[in-house]
């Protein structure tokens, strides 16, 4: 992961040689933040495997805070998924 562009209200992150899973999850969580004007991801070409995540905020709170909050929400979703998955597996056993 590397930062391609950065300002107080905008950032573009490149997830090098990655799949879109994490960037899509972060984009979904960033979209829930009222201080985020736009969150978008793109994949230039499926064989290159670099994913770009673009974030633009309104500047009312620090851009890093928006990202940290989105990451925390994404982790919470993943933990909920893990718990539900484990319940289903336990029922099958």
pLDDT digits (tens, 9 = 90+) for 22-80: 889 999 999 999 999 999 999 888 788 899 999 999 999 888 899 999 999 999 999 99
Q: Please state, in angstroms and rounded to a whole number, the distance separating the CA atoms of residues 57 and 76.
A: 22
**What pTM, to 2 d.p., does this model score?**
0.81
Q: What are phi and psi of 8, to 5 degrees?
A: -65, -30
pLDDT over 80 (residue 93): no
Question: How remote is the C-alpha of 69 from its chain's centroid?
Answer: 10
Fold of 2-92: Gyrase A; domain 2 (3.30.1360)
- Would you kindly state where each structural domain of the chain is located, as residue ranges? 2-92
pLDDT level of residue 17 (50, 70, 90 thresholds): confident
């Amino acid at each position: 992961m590397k930062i391609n562009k950065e300002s107080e209200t905008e950032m573009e992150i490149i997830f090098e040689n990655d799949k879109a899973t994490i960037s899509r999850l972060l984009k979904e969580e960033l979209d829930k933040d009222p201080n985020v004007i736009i969150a978008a991801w793109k994949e230039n070409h499926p064989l290159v495997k670099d994913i770009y995540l673009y974030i633009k905020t309104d500047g009312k709170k620090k851009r890093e805070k928006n990202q940290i909050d989105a990451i925390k929400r994404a982790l919470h979703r993943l933990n909920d998924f893990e718990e539900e998955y484990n319940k289903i597996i336990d029922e099958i056993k």
